[in-house]
Amino acid sequence: MSEVTRDLIGDHFLDLWSKTRARKPESDEEEEELPTELDPDSIAGGFAVVGPDRLSVRYPNVSLHDHDAGVVKANHAAPMKRMIYYFEIFVQNEGAKGRITVGFTTSAFNAHRQPGWEESTFGYNADDGLFYNGQTSREAFPTFTAGDTVGAGINYATRNFFFTLNGVMVAFFDKDIKGPVFPSVSVHSHFEEVLVNFGQRGFAFDLKAYEAEERFIIEEKIGDRVSVPQNADHGIVRSYLQHYGYGETLKHLDISLQSIMPSISAAPEDGASEEDTMYAFNQRRTLRQLINSGKIDETFSTLGMWYPQIIEGDSSVICFMLHCQKFIELVRDEKIADALWYGKSELAKFMNSSAFGDIAKDCSALLAYGQPKECFVGYLLGDSQRELVADAVNATILSTNPNMKDGSLCKYPALERLIQQVTACSLEKRSLKGGEGEAFRLSRHLNSTYKA
Amino acid sequence: MDADPPQFGNIDVNESDIHTIVLSYLVHNCFKDTLESFVSCTGMKQPVDHMQDMEKRKRIYHFALDGNASKAIEMTEEFAPGLLEENKDLHFDLLSLHFVELVSSHKTQEALLFAQCQLTDFGKEQKYVKKLEDFMALLAYDEPEKSPMFHLLSSDHRQHVAESLNRAILAHTKLPSYSAMERLIQQTTVVRQCLSQELGKDGHKPFSLKDFLKS
């Protein structure tokens, strides 16, 4: 494996380090704006008045023309990158005629009409209990009046609008409207008044339970649709343990596997061969243990003995990471004078490089603080930093395997690549389907089923 | 390779999530010693509640795997009463394992008697008739392993039945019947299938786990 590939691996881990510094949000789902209040500017012609907290709306006391409904929208469209969006209204006062409508409209919607009046809108009407979607109404459902809590939601997984009344699901319909939609409410007669809840208070409807049920249904469908290739999981777990050097665990696993599959050997066609995943197992394990105990000098000397090519020239990413770690360990042990000296003699040469400069500065910043653990570079003193360096060395040693055809296999074992694959493909699938719905997120998936 | 490596490589995988997946795999397969070792190496919290059940499930699994169906059935009825009544397909498969054991040991008379007592009742339902016929046909061969139904005698088949039994027991005790590892494989396969459909022939090829692991 060439020098170039080796540094590609190094660059990858450097990149990971940069990401830790930047502390990026876990997913794009956190970046969408949410509806939080009503937008008085969305009302045309004064046919509705929004309260000062922007969470209530009423029909002005002045008698107005029968055709002029007062419609108000939320300040942002309903977020799309999730499975379900939901909001509720509470009817404070049904007014003279009780013609409140709640639902969703698009930004282009003409604001004199109730949601549902035009095709790109959908609304549930208090007066007749009908659901409107551009003049077509559906079967009659319960009407609602003062004291009732009505909810309107979007289920992106099933592509439905759904409505609830006092905590109970009333109906759901196909969501034919494409693109962003705004939670909307309209009032249409004297004294009608409605309070709106965008999630700031608890909902009458058990949204969490509904979400859990829907996710469960989706999970079950996947289970029914696809069978798991027999014994595929064993190889994947083994290669994970082999990659990260879990020697003792691997031994136990192999004994257990032997007892259930004596005739079936770890089939080589089922993945990277045993030689490749077990390559330099003991060496990698030893080096990982050294790094995790902070013994960087020994790490350098051991590498020099076993894999001199990795630290030759003292300029590669691995060298940089190890020197930084040595510096960090000195700070950890409060050997400040030694750290200063080490920084000057070994880290200085990296400071001017565009690739390493910023990160190296993080390290030297450690010296500036009396309590380095509490400052923004405190993460350097944690175990996770040692793990990062150990992972980088691990991957680089794997790359010295003359049989290794693909350098990218060194960075991540099959298990992690599988997770990356499903996450990335899920995101791609969502963007192909108009960017709606929740993409696969491993922690969410595990929390709903597997965490105790 | 059809995946875009730089794009995939950017997705960070959380270590504790990976540990959860491995743990779920170990609990599912009742690998108790491995589990204890892994837990101590990673400093995770040991899942206390599932440990005792794991021993029992393991023994039931091994009985089924070895073809000792009667022991497996006995322990299952003790550990998870009502399970076999609720899972007739599974019950049938287990009983037929016993039948196959008898046939393999050339205890033809016993096999016949057993079939008449325990299996033919299932024949009242259409879906079992074909299976029954396959099993009974084994009796006609001096060397059943050379018959067209030889797969019914194979360790693969026993493994398949043992796994179904394990899943049924897990479900019965309100645990997930597929391990997180298996779910992950299923999720990946499904989402890749969806993508293939969306992208048509310009897009990704159908997902093959084997190819993926090799690539």
- Higher pLDDT, residue A221 or B203: A221
pLDDT band at B205 (very low <50, low <70, confident <90, very high): low
Contact at 8 Å (CB) between A150 and A88? yes
| Contact criterion met (CB < 8 Å) for A229 and B185 | yes
Token pair 């995770």 in the structure block, residue? B44
The pLDDT, as a whole number, for residue A221 is: 83
pLDDT band at B132 (very low <50, low <70, confident <90, very high): confident
Assign domain A35-197 to a CATH class: mainly beta
Q: Residue A177 has which token pair?
A: 């409207």
B28: pLDDT strictly greater than 80: yes
**What does pLDDT average to in each consecutive run of 10 residues of chain A (452 residues)?**
70 85 62 90 82 91 71 92 94 85 84 68 75 67 88 93 93 85 88 93 95 87 81 91 94 92 53 79 95 95 94 89 94 91 89 83 84 83 92 92 78 90 90 86 84 59
Structure ipTM: 0.89
Amino acid at A77: A
The pLDDT, as a whole number, for residue A266 is: 47
Contact at 8 Å (CB) between A187 and A48? yes
Residues of B in contact with A426 (CB under 8 A): 187, 191
Token pair 């497996």 in the structure block, residue? B72
In this prediction the pTM is 0.85
Q: Residue A329 has which token pair?
A: 């360990």
- Higher pLDDT, residue B67 or B203: B67
Provide the shortest C-alpha distance from residue A48 to chain B (in Å).
45
Task: Report helix angle B180-199 to A442-449, nearest 10.
Answer: 130
Q: Residue B100 has which token pair?
A: 């196959």
Average pLDDT, chain B: 86
The A168-174 sheet, strands edge to edge: A49-50, A56-58, A193-197, A84-93, A149-155, A160-165, A168-174
Provide the shortest C-alpha distance from residue A255 to chain B (in Å).
9
Per cent of chain B over pLDDT 90 is 44
Query: How many CA atoms, within 13 angstroms, populate the side-chain half-sphere of residue A45?
Result: 13
Provide the shortest C-alpha distance from residue B122 to chain A (in Å).
24
Token pair 């070792």 in the structure block, residue? B37
| Contact criterion met (CB < 8 Å) for B49 and A452 | yes
Q: How far is CA B170 from the centre of its chain?
A: 11
| Contact criterion met (CB < 8 Å) for A252 and B190 | no
The pLDDT, as a whole number, for residue A23 is: 65
CA distances from A61 to A58, A187, A194, A202, B129 (A): 9, 12, 14, 30, 76
Provide the shortest C-alpha distance from residue A274 to chain B (in Å).
12
| Contact criterion met (CB < 8 Å) for A252 and B187 | no
Of the candidates A206, A203, A188, the residue with the CA atom closest to the CA atom of residue A89? A203
Amino acid at A386: R
Residues of B in contact with A420 (CB under 8 A): 8-9, 11, 13
Interatomic CA distance for residues B126 and A124, integer angstroms: 49
Q: Among partner residues B3, B22, B33, which is closest to A237 by beta-carbon distance? A: B22
Domain positions in chain A are 3-24+281-400, 35-197, 227-279
Phi, psi of A155 (to 5 degrees): -110, 105
The pLDDT, as a whole number, for residue A294 is: 94
SS3 content of chain A, % helix, strand, coil (to 5): 45, 15, 40
The pLDDT, as a whole number, for residue A205 is: 96
Interface size, chain A vs chain B, as Cβ–Cβ contacts under 8 Å: 170
Contact at 8 Å (CB) between A69 and A101? yes
* Per-residue model confidence as pLDDT tens digits over B133-152: 888 888 888 888 888 888 88
The pLDDT, as a whole number, for residue B164 is: 94
Nearest residue of A to residue B22 by CA position? Answer: A237
Q: Which residues pair with A187 in a beta bridge?
A: A70
| Contact criterion met (CB < 8 Å) for A416 and B18 | yes
Q: Among partner residues A269, A387, A450, which is closest to B176 by beta-carbon distance? A: A450
Provide the shortest C-alpha distance from residue B125 to chain A (in Å).
23
Instruction: Name the DSSP letter for residue B119.
Output: I
B62: pLDDT strictly greater than 90: yes
| Contact criterion met (CB < 8 Å) for A219 and B213 | no
Contact at 8 Å (CB) between A143 and A129? yes
Phi, psi of A268 (to 5 degrees): -65, -25
Task: Report helix angle B180-199 to B15-28, nearest 10.
Answer: 110
* Per-residue model confidence as pLDDT tens digits over B90-120: 999 999 999 988 888 888 898 889 988 888 8
| Contact criterion met (CB < 8 Å) for B41 and A249 | yes
Residues of A in contact with B193 (CB under 8 A): 226
